[in-house]
A and B are shown apart, each in its own frame.
Chain A
Amino acid sequence: MQEEGPVPVMIVEDDPVTRDDWADKVRDDPGLRLAAVCAGFEEASTVLDVTDARVALIDLGLPDGDGTDLIRFAVARDPPIEVMVMTVFGDERHVVRAIEAGATGYLLKDADAPSVSKAIHDLLAGGSPISTAIARHLLRRFRVPEAAGETVEPAVSLTPREREVLDLVARGCSNAEIGDLLQLSFHTVNSHIKNIYRKLAVRSRSEAVFEAVQQGLIQIDRSFGRNGEG
């Protein structure tokens, strides 16, 4: 999937000043190319069908729709687009919702241009940013059902290594420090975090299906086999 040239980036943000600011941040980096700038949900969903963007920066609080739905579109698209959510606080509520929808990273809205371009390039290289609060939340999310004695598919449960990484993040260690402590490269630590994000997304999807089946919203038809995978 490695392509030559600058990485096409798409921005979805309703506040015009912030939107322009972010457009500038992308333009500042020659390694990035501004593929599209959208002001709302409707616009973005149309653009998502046709854009060649590889990365989408999406704000959740749009006036005409839910940003998480946009994230789902983008991730389900072929080829899929990597999504980073733009958040003012980087708070657990926003970020985790976005990750559950399929985002693999987040950016603070007041981040400066260098951190933005670094984060995008890291993301494409397989890494994801994380914070103490999010790590703690993820630990909690992955702990509860497994402690209840449920057998959980390995695809959606954490490996011991991933758990170690999360634990260290939750205690305030930086990725570099975690790499030192666990004898891992910085990149490996980063990709662990991205994997954890993916697992949360898969997990939340399967939980949603489970809930829906429980509530009778979905009839499982055996003949459809493995349709929903991927």
Chain B
Amino acid sequence: MERAWFPIAFWVGALGIATALWMTLDGFYRLPGAADALRLDSAERLVATAPDPARLPVDGWQPVKLPDDWLHRGLQGTEVWYRARIDLNVPPNRLWAVLVPGINLAGAVFFNGELVGSSVRLEEPLPQDWNRPLMFSIPNGLIRSGGNVLHVRVLSYPSGHGFLAPVFLGPSELLLPSFESRQFLQVHLSRFITIATAFMSLFLGLIWWLKRSETVYGWLALTTLMWSAHSLKYHLSDIPVTSLQWAALLFVTAIGFCTAVIIFLHRFTGVSLPKMQRFVLGHAAVAVLVLTSLTLLETDLLYSAAQIFVSVALVLAGYNFVRMVVRIWNGRVLETYLVGAASLVVMVVGVRDWVLILGFMDRPSGQFTQYAIPLLLGVLGIVLVMRFVGALRASEQLTQTLENRVAAKTQELEANYTRLQELEREQTLAAERERLMRDMHDGVGGQLVSSLALLKAKGIEDTDLDATLSGALTDLRLMIDSLDPVDDDLNGVLGMLRDRMQRPMEAAGLKTLWQFERLPKFPDLGPDRVLQILRILQEALTNVLKHAHASQVVVGAVYDPERHRARLVVADDGRGMNGQHRGRGLRNMRTRAERLGAHLDLQSSDMGTRVTLELPYPSDGPGGVPVAGSGTAPA
């Protein structure tokens, strides 16, 4: 593992913080200082049932130290009275009050026999005041100089669970900060946590509802919901149902919380433990069934049974939790540390509360699981949201990739379609050309040939007619040649010219030198260009044949790489032209050259005539690189 020191450093640091937390928690819940109030650490106790101190028996009071936890004393019963004597030299000149920071489960405070305050109710359903401070003002004039008596009536449900923390007596404004601090932490903050976890549960549940396959959200939603319900016990005093039913609800939500968290952890870490899962779910089902039955039977057996079920659920949850944290240890770094840190806090707090409940610490120190569990739930929620966002991002990327691919494919398809269309067009053209050729071959062409034969057969010596007919035939052939696909090869075009013209030139006794350099490919050399080139050169050669009285003609082609053009030349050694003959032919050649975008140059003297066609290549065409200059064919 790279950076192996980091996890170790993390855990060392985390343990340090946990220890500090443990120490700090002791002073977390504020109590009044010695200078501010009287702290009653000892009192007298009497197990008795009475509505007010006046009806209490005089005998049987036993001295006890506060805090007094009935569980530790093996004290049975649902009602216990405490009394303490307070001697004051002079009555106070400001408003005094009594602060009861810890009582289980509800109670009332009497001063000098007068009721100064109590829980909202003192009968079933008993108010749940175990986690809230009670503070009552003592009316003016009630405190006397000399001996005063404070009575505290404590009601417990179920029997034997009562508890009373040291009671404080002092000026109201000096007790108030402690009261308000505890009130805020134990009641308001707890209420806020209940509401917040309920919303979180709702939010997670919504995600799960929208995306059922992601059960991990559903299980965390259920876990959070269970805790939200269970956390009511910290701040809801005036319960709407009987104490037994309320207790049953808290037990069931506790078991539900443990069960849901186990399944969630399995989903979260991606493990499959079917046996464990079955056992946990089965246990929960049995627990709910048994606890519900006991509640309906209204028997206190519920408490003993619930202790067992809750213990089992807690052990299972703890075991699975440790196992899962170990499992994701080498997984995603941030997740591991977040979940690990939150788990550590839960464990520290959980152990501390457990120690407290077992009686090794004073109960007024208070419990903290209520803050640690939401912390863990929040962290898990954040991790899930992180995963969710990660998945979202990944899917966005995937979509993007997919879109790109679709776009590429569409383009490809379009290109294919265009090519197909082009091919179809070419095929149509080819078919049309085929039809035309057949028609011309069997029609005009055959007729021209047979006309020529007819002239000969009839012994008519008309050179002009013969030349005209032959010219028409040659013209037709050039047209047909130009329709032949030439693969952008200018040399092929020149070859056609040679095929057609060599015979008449030889027949006229003209020595012809064909000097064609190998020319680069001419992009998009279509039939029209081919025909124009063929016609211009044919016209030049025909002129030589008819008018030049030459003995030799050179037909050449070279490529000029600097100007990126082909230079096609027809040069004879005849007597030059005197202008009048060739007017029309020359005009035609120039017009054709213009259509080609080429330049036609004509130089004539009595030493001969030279026609040059400068044919520029398309400037952006790819075929501009000449293949080789060595392909000159000798004459």
| B-binding residues in A (CB < 8 A) | 15, 17-18, 20-21, 24, 61, 87-94, 109-110, 112, 115, 131-133, 135-136, 168-174, 177, 180-181
Question: Residue of A at shortest CB range from B497?
Answer: A172
Q: If A21-B453, A109-B449, A172-B494 touch, does A90 touch B634 (CB 8 Å cutoff)? A: no
| Nearest-neighbor residue (CB-CB) of A178 within chain B | B633
Evaluate contact between A133 and B496: CB separation under 8 angstroms: yes
Bound-state CA distance A21–B437 (Å) is 23
* Complex Cα gap A93–B634 (Å): 30
Tell me the complex Cα distance, A18–B633, Å. 37
Complex CA gap A135/B499 in Å reads 12
- Whether B473 and A110, one on each chain, are in contact in the complex, defined by CB atoms closer than 8 angstroms, is yes
**B438 touches which of A61, A112, A115, A133 (Cβ 8 Å):** A61
Report if A171-B473 is in contact (Cβ < 8 Å); known contacts: A61-B442, A133-B484: no
Nearest 8 pairs between A and B by C-beta?
A172-B495, A132-B495, A88-B445, A21-B453, A17-B450, A109-B449, A171-B491, A131-B499
Q: How far is the CA of A23 from the CA of B517 in the complex (A)?
A: 42
Question: Which one, B33-41, B388-396, B407-415, B474-482, is touching chain A?
Answer: B474-482
Q: How far is the CA of A38 from the CA of B634 in the complex (A)?
A: 43
Judge whether B492 and A172 touch: CB under 8 Å: yes
In the bound complex, do residue A172 and residue B633 qualify as a contact, i.e. CB atoms below 8 Å apart? yes
Q: Chain B residues near A89 (CB, 8 Å)? A: 437, 440-441, 445, 476-477, 480
Count, A-B residue pairs, CB within 8 A? 116
| Interface residue? B610 (CB, 8 A) | no
The residue of chain A having its C-beta at the shortest distance from the C-beta of B631 within the complex is A171
Q: A170 near B495 (CB under 8 angstroms)?
A: yes
Residues of A with C-beta under 8 A to B486: 136
Which residue from chain A places its CB closest to the CB of B518 in the assembled complex?
A: A171
Interchain CA distance A51-B502 in the complex, whole Å: 36
User: How far is it, in angstroms, between the C-alpha of A87 and the C-alpha of B499 when the chains are bound?
Assistant: 15
Residues of B within 8 A of A136 (CB): 484, 486-487, 489, 492
A181 near B446 (CB under 8 angstroms)? no
Q: Which residue on chain B has the smallest CB distance to residue A131?
A: B499
Question: In the assembly, what is the distance between CA of A197 and CA of B59, in Å?
Answer: 140
- Beyond A18-B449, A91-B437, A170-B492, 6 additional contacts (C-beta under 8 Å) are A17-B453, A131-B499, A170-B491, A171-B491, A174-B502, A177-B634
Contact B476 A172 (CB under 8 A): no
The distance in angstroms between the C-alpha atoms of A112 and B470, with both chains bound, is 12
With A17-B453, A172-B492, A180-B634 already in contact, the answer to whether A110 and B470 are too (CB < 8 A) is yes
Complex Cα spacing A15 to B453, Å? 11
19 interchain pairs, CB-CB under 8 A? A18-B446, A18-B450, A61-B442, A88-B441, A89-B441, A89-B480, A91-B481, A109-B445, A110-B453, A132-B495, A133-B481, A133-B484, A133-B492, A136-B484, A169-B495, A172-B499, A172-B514, A174-B498, A177-B634
Contact of B446 among A88, A92, A172 (CB under 8 A): A88
User: With A88-B446, A172-B491 in contact, do A18 and B631 touch (Cβ < 8 Å)?
Assistant: no
Kindly state whether residue B563 has any CB partner on chain A within 8 Å. no
Chain A neighbourhood of B489, CB < 8 A: 136, 170-171
Asked if A21 contacts B456 (CB within 8 A), the reply is yes
Closest to A172 in B: B495
- Report which of A94, A109, A171 forms a contact with B516, defined as CB distance below 8 A: A171
A61 to B635 Cα, complex, angstroms? 37
Contact across chains for A132 and B453 when beta carbons are under 8 A apart = no
Report the Cα distance A170→B486, complex, angstroms.
10
In the assembly, what is the distance between CA of A15 and CA of B454, in Å? 11
- Chain B contact residues (Cβ within 8 angstroms of A): what range? 35 or more
Nearest CB in chain A to that of B503: its residue: A115
**How many Å lie between the Cα of A181 and that of B631 in the bound state?**
10
Q: Which residues of B contact A174 (CB under 8 A)?
A: 498, 502, 514
Which residues does chain A contribute within 8 Å of B528, judged by CB atoms? none
Q: Can you name the residue of chain A whose Cβ is closest to the Cβ of B555?
A: A172
| From A20, A88, A169, A180, contact of B449 by CB (8 A) | A88
Q: Which residues on the B side are within 8 Å of A87 (C-beta)?
A: 441
**How far is A90 from B437 in the complex, measured between Cα atoms in Å?**
11
B210 at the interface (CB under 8 A from A): no
CB pair B473 A172 closer than 8 Å = no
Contact yes or no, B457 A181, CB < 8 A? no
| Distance between B517 CB and nearest chain A CB, rounded to angstroms | 10
- Check A91/B484 contact, CB under 8 A, given A18-B450, A172-B514: yes
Shortest B433–chain A CB gap in Å is 9
CB-nearest residue of chain A to B506: A115
Chain A positions within 8 Å of B449 at CB level? 15, 18, 88, 109-110
Q: Which residues of A contact B633 (CB under 8 A)?
A: 168, 171-173, 177, 181
A52 vs B184: C-alpha distance in the bound complex, in angstroms? Answer: 128
- List B contacts of A181 (CB < 8 A): 633-634
Q: Is B232 an interface residue (CB 8 A)?
A: no
Bound CA span A24–B473, Å: 21
Would you call B452 an interface residue if the criterion is a C-beta within 8 Å of the partner chain's C-beta atoms? yes
Interchain CA distance A21-B445 in the complex, whole Å = 16
Q: CB-nearest residue of chain A relative to B478?
A: A89
Task: Determine if B499 and A133 form an interchain contact, defined as CB atoms under 8 angstroms apart.
Answer: yes
- A132:B457 contact, CB within 8 angstroms: no
Contacts A17-B457, A132-B499, A133-B496: A61 and B491 contacting too (C-beta < 8 A)? no
Residue B434 at the A interface, CB < 8 A? Answer: yes
Using CB atoms, name the residue of chain A closest to B635.
A177
Taken together as a complex, chains A and B put the C-alpha atoms of A32 and B243 apart, in Å, by 134
- What separation, in Å, do the CA atoms of A115 and B504 have in the docked complex? 12
Bound complex: CA of A93 vs CA of B435, how far in Å? 11
Residues of A within 8 A of B502 (CB): 174
B496/A20 in contact, CB under 8 A: no
User: CA A21 – CA B457 in complex, angstroms?
Assistant: 7
Q: Are A132 and B498 within 8 A (Cβ)?
A: yes
Closest to A139 in B: B487
Q: How far is the CA of A15 from the CA of B484 in the complex (A)?
A: 27
For residue A63, which residue of chain B has the nearest CB? B442
How close is A34's CB to chain B, nearest CB, in angstroms?
Answer: 16
Closest B residue, CB atoms, query A16: B450
Q: How far, in whole Å, are A20 and B449 apart by their CA atoms in the complex?
A: 12
- Indicate if the CB atoms of B450 and A15 lie closer than 8 Å: yes
Give the residues in chain B near A177, CB-CB below 8 Å.
633-635
Query: Taking A18-B446, A90-B477, A136-B486 as contacts, is the C-beta distance between A172 and B516 under 8 angstroms?
Result: yes
Instruction: Give 1 or 0 for each of B93-104: 1 = CB within 8 Å of chain A CB.
Output: 000000000000
Q: Cβ of A132: which chain B residues have Cβ within 8 Å of it?
A: 492, 495-496, 498-499
Contacting residue for B441 out of A17, A18, A20, A94, CB 8 A: A94
Min distance, Cβ A118 to any Cβ of chain B, angstroms: 11
A135 to B498, CA, bound (A): 14
Q: Could you tell me the distance in whole angstroms from the C-beta of B476 to the nearest C-beta in chain A?
A: 7
Complex Cα–Cα for A110 and B467 (A): 12
Residues in A with CB closer than 8 Å to B499 are 90, 131-133, 172
Across the interface, name the chain B residue whose C-beta is closest to A135: B495
Nearest CB of chain A from residue B100's CB, rounded to whole Å: 98
**B481 / chain A contacts, CB cutoff of 8 Å:** 91, 133
